[in-house]
Amino acid sequence: MTYFIIIISAIFVNNIVLTQFLGICPFLGVSKRISTAMGMSGAVTFVMVIATIFTYLIYTYALAPFEVTYLQTISFILVIAALVQLVEIVLKKVSPPLYQALGVFLPLITTNCTILGVAIMTVSKNYNLLEGVVFSAATAVGFGLALVIFAGIREQLELVDIPKGMRGAPVALVIAGILAMAFMGFAGLVK
C-alpha cells in the first residue's frame, strides 16, 4: 500500500511541475510538440531513476557515515551531470532526430531542478532505496504526463485564432496555470 500511495502522490497530488513548480524551464521550452515532449520525458525518467539510485547510495554509504552530509548538493549535482552526459552520448548514437529535436534542452537536464529535487526529497523523506526508486519513477511519470498534456494543448492552440497579444508565452503561461489548478483538484486524494 505504501508504494501505491507514493505513486499516486508523486504523479497526481504532488506533481513536480504543476504543484511544486520544479522543472518549469523544460516544461515551457520542450512542450511545443508531443514527440519532443515524450523524448524529453524519457530522457528525464532515465536520468531521474538512475540519479536517485546513485545519489541514495552516495548519501547512505559515503556522506552520512562520515558526517559530511553538507556535501550532498554538490555531490548530487556531479552525479546528475555525469549521467546527462551519458544520455547525450547514447541519444546522439541511437536517435539523432530526437537528439536534434531536444537541442539545447538535453544539456539543460543537468540543471533541471526536478532531478536534483527528487534526489534531495528521497533523502529528506527517509525513503529506502526501493521506495526512492518508486518515488523517482512516479515523479518522472508525473513530469512526463504534465509535459505531454501541455504539449498536446499547445499543438491544438496552433489551430485556433488567438489574439496577437496572447500568442506564444502569454497563452502558454495561462494554460500552465489552468493545468496547475486542475492538478490541485487531486489534493487530499492521499495523505
Tell me the average pLDDT across 5-12. Answer: 94
Question: pLDDT tens digits for 129-186?
Answer: 999 999 999 999 999 999 999 999 999 988 888 899 888 889 989 999 999 999 998 8
Spatial separation of the C-alpha atoms in residues 100 and 88, rounded to whole Å: 11
pLDDT of residue 129: 96
Q: What is the structure's pLDDT at 35?
A: 85
Q: Are 130 and 53 in contact (CB under 8 A)?
A: no
Parse the chain into domains and list their residue ranges: 17-132+139-184
Mean pLDDT, the chain, integer: 89
Kindly state the greatest CA–CA separation across the chain: 61
- Where on the phi/psi map is residue 67: left (φ > 0), alpha (ψ -120 to 50), or beta? left
The DSSP line for 80-125 is: HHHHHHHHHHHHHHH-HHHHHHHGGGTGGGGG-HHHHHHHHHHHHT
End-to-end CA distance of the chain: 12
pLDDT at 105: 67
